[in-house]
Structure 1
Amino acid sequence: MSTISDHLAAFHGLPVFDHTAAATEDSATAKLPAAADAAWRIGLDYESEITFEEAWQAFLDSVDTTQVRAVVIGNWWGDNYGPLTDALAAIVASAGQLPALRALFIGDVVSEECELSWLQMTDVTPVLESFPQLEELVVRGASGGYGDDEPPLSLRPLRHERLRALRFEAGGLPGSVVRAVTACEFPALERLELWLGVEEYGGDATVADLAPLLAGAGLPALRHLGLENSELQDEIAAAVAGAPVVARLERLSLAMGTLTDEGATALLEGQPLTHLSALDLHHHFLTDPMIERLRTALEPAGVAVDLSEQEKPDEYDGETWRYTANAE
C-alpha cells in the first residue's frame, strides 16, 4: 500500500517555500523569496509552540500577500489532532488580503505526521465562495473528528467561474462530496480528480453517484478526468466505457485502484479510446495477457498507457483480497 511520504516540492508551477519553518528558524534574518515567485507553505511542526492561526498571521505580516499566487497548507494541529475548521476560518477571513491567489493546496501532510484517512476535515465550500479567482484547489483528507459535532469533509453545490483544476485526495471520499461535485457548475474546469477510496474509511460513493459527471453535466471544459484509488474500479471502468464525457477527454485516469481484467475488458469493448493522449492505469491487478492487449490496442494510436505497478492479489483463508494504493 502506498504512503504519502514527501511534502510538496512544487505546486501550481512554483517551488514550495516553507514560510513557517523559515520564520521559526530565525525570523529576524530569514530571506524570503519574492511573493509571486513561490507557493507559500504554512504548517506546524509536531512540537510547535505556536498555533496555526499565529503561523498564518506571521505569514500575512511578513509577505506582500497582494502578490501571492499559491498557498500550501500543512499540519494545522501541531501535536494534538484536530479538525481543519479553525485554520480554514482564518484562511477564509484573509481572502481580501490575497487578491492574486490562484491556487490552494489543503493538507500537505505526510504519513509520518498523520495517515491520509485520519486527517480531520470540514466544509471546504467557503474556499470557493471566498476566492472567486481561484484556479486550482487540492484537498487531502476526508474524515471527521471524534465527536458528532465534527463532520467529515463536505462541499455544497455552487457555481465557480474560474476554477480549472480540482482534486480530492482521500482514502475514503464521502459520497455526499461526490454528489456535490456533480451538482456544481464549473464552466472553466479542465481537470478533475477524485480519489474515491474504500468504504472502510468512509468512501461510500456509488457508480450511480458518478452518473451526472460521466454524462458531462456542468463541465463543458473538462479534458482530464481521474476516478481513482477505488475498490470499485472495475464497475467504474464499465461505466466509463460508455460515458459521453469520455469522447471529449484528452487524458483519463483509473489508476491506484483494484482494476482487474474484467474492468479492462469493458474499456476495450466500449467506446474508442484512441483519441486520448494518455490513459493512466498504474497500480492495477491486470494479467500479463491483458496488459499486452491494452498496449496493442492503444499505443499504436499514440495513447501513452501507464501500466506500471502491476500488483498481485493476496490470498487469505480462501479469499482473494485486492487493495487500493491509498487507504489508511
Structure 2
Amino acid sequence: MSFYDRMEELYGLPAFTFPAREAATVLPAPDAVAWRINGQPDAVVWRSTVGEPLPEEECWDEAFDRFCAEVDTTRVPALIVGSWDDPLDTDPSQAIESLLAARDRLPALRSLFLGDIVGEEAEISMISQTDVTPLLAGFPALEEFGVRAGEGNSMGEVLRLRFPALRHDALRRLTVQSGGLRADVVRGVGASELPALEHLDLWLGISEYGSDCTVADLEPILYGDRLPRLRHLALRNSEIQDEIAAALASAPVVARLDVLDLSMGTLSDDGAAALLEGQPLTHLKKLDLHHNFLSEPFRQRIRETLEPAGVEVDLDRGDAEPDADDDDTVQRYVAVAE
C-alpha cells in the first residue's frame, strides 16, 4: 500500500482540494465536499512537471485563512489537513492552533483528518506529529477523527504523535495510521472514555519505525469496557498480528463486533488457528484478513467455517507474497511501514 494518492473521500463526501491562490476555480457548495487544505498546492508539483512557472509558495495557515474568507465555513462538515510547511521537520501545531482559533466559524464540522500527506511530501514513517487531543477537546461535536503519523525530527527533537487519555461523547470513528505506532498512543486510546465510538482503526506498524506496542497495551481495547458501542475493530498493519489474533480469540469485545479487521499485517497459520479455535466468529458480518501469509489449507478452512454462516471473508493476499532467506525461513512484512 502506498501513499502516492490523496484521500478521495471523508464523511461520505468527495474530497476537494481548496485551489491555489492564483487558480480560477469554481468552488463547490460548502457542504457538498470534504475540503482539503494544503500548504503546498498540488499545482506546484504539476506545473514543475510540465515546465510552467511555479506559483508563489503559500504556507498552510495562509491557505486556511483564504479558505475561511472565501467559503461559508458555517456549512463545512469535513476538513482534510494536507501537508503543512515541512512535515519532516515541523509538526502541525500551528495548523492545530489555527483550527482551534476558527472553531466558532466551524459549527457544522463533524469530520477531521490530520495529515493527508503523500509519499512525494514525506514517507509515513517521517511525518512529524504532536499531541492531537486538543482538536478533540476543541470540537466536542466531532464525529470522526483521523491522523497519519510517523516520527519527524527537528534540531534533535523527535516530533511524534501523542494521544493522552480523554473523554469525548460524540466521536463515532477514530483512525490512526502509522508505520510504527508507539505504545503510549495505544494506551491513551484504550484509557479514553469514548461512549459513542463505533469504529476504531489502529495501524500498529513495526519496531523498526517506532512501534513498541504489545498485546498487554491493547488489553483495555480488547475488554472494551470504555467502548460500549464499538462495532468495527481494526488492529492491523502489525508485525505481531499472530499475537493479536490469539488475544482476540478470547477477548470480550469480539462478541459485540460486526467487523473484525486484522489485515495488512503478518498474519500466518498460527494466528488463524488461534482465531478459529477461540470464541465463535459466526456472528460477524465481515472478517477482513487481506494482506496475509496464510497457507491455502487455512484459507479454505476459514472459508468453510465462516462463509456458510453468512460472514464476508476477505482473504486477498494483495502483495503479501512470502519470500525465503538463505535459511529458507519465510519473511513476512506489513503493508505500510516506511
Residue type of the alignment partner of 1:44: G
Correspondence for 1:171: 179
Please state how far the C-alpha of 1:316 moved relative to its aligned partner.
2.2
Q: Is the 8 A contact 1:257 1:324 kept in 2?
A: yes
Indicate the percent of aligned positions where both proteins have the same amino acid. Answer: 51
Unaligned runs of 5+ in 1: none
Contact 2:149–2:160 (8 Å) recurs in 1:
no
> Against the structure 1 CA distance between its residues 169 and 79, is the aligned structure 2 distance closer, same or farther, given a 3 Å change threshold?
closer
Q: How many residues align?
A: 323
Give me the TM-score of the superposition, normalised by structure 2: 0.92
Match of 2:21? 24
TM-superposed deviation, 1:45: 2.6
Paired with 2:157 and 2:102, the residues of 1 have a C-alpha distance of: 25
Distance in 2 (CA, whole Å) between partners of 1:78 and 1:238 is 40
How far did 1:81 drift?
4.2
What SS class does the counterpart of residue 275 from structure 1 fall into? coil
Per-residue Cα deviation, 1:280-320 (whole angstroms, up to 9, x for no partner)? 00000000100000000000100000000262322223254
Contact 2:260 2:284 (C-alpha < 8 Å) held by counterparts: yes
1:55 to 49, 60, 63: 63
Instruction: Name the SS for the 2:153 alignment partner.
Output: coil
CA distance in 2, matches of 1:79, 1:64: 28
Tell me which residue corresponds to 2:215: 207
Q: Give the alignment partner of residue 81 of structure 2, picking from 57, 73, 76.
A: 73
State the partner residue of 2:37: 42
1:162 lines up with 2:157 in the alignment: no
Which residue of the partner structure matches residue 2 of structure 2? Answer: 3
Structure 1 contact 23–30 (Cα < 8 Å) conserved: no
Give the CA deviation at 1:227: 0.2
Contact (CA 8 Å) 1:215, 1:243: kept in 2 or not? yes
Deviation of the 1:113 alpha carbon: 2.0
1:226 match: 234
Q: Which residue in 2 is equivalent to 1:316?
A: 325
Cα distance, 1:95 vs structure 2? 1.3
| 1:115 equivalenced with 2:110 (yes/no) | no
The residue aligned with 2:97 is 89
- Equivalent position amino acid for 2:134 in 1: P
CA distance in 2, matches of 1:79, 1:301: 46
Alignment deviations for residues 170-224 of structure 1 (CA, whole Å, 9 cap, x no partner): 0001110000000000000000000000011111111000011100121000000
C-alpha distance after superposition, 1:78-107 (max 9, x if no partner): 597422222222122211211110000111
Whether the 8 Å contact between 1:133 and 1:162 is mirrored in structure 2 is yes
CA contact (8 A) 2:87 2:121 kept: no
d(CA) in 1 for partners of 2:146, 2:275: 28
Q: State the Cα distance separating 1:16 from its structure 2 match.
A: 1.1
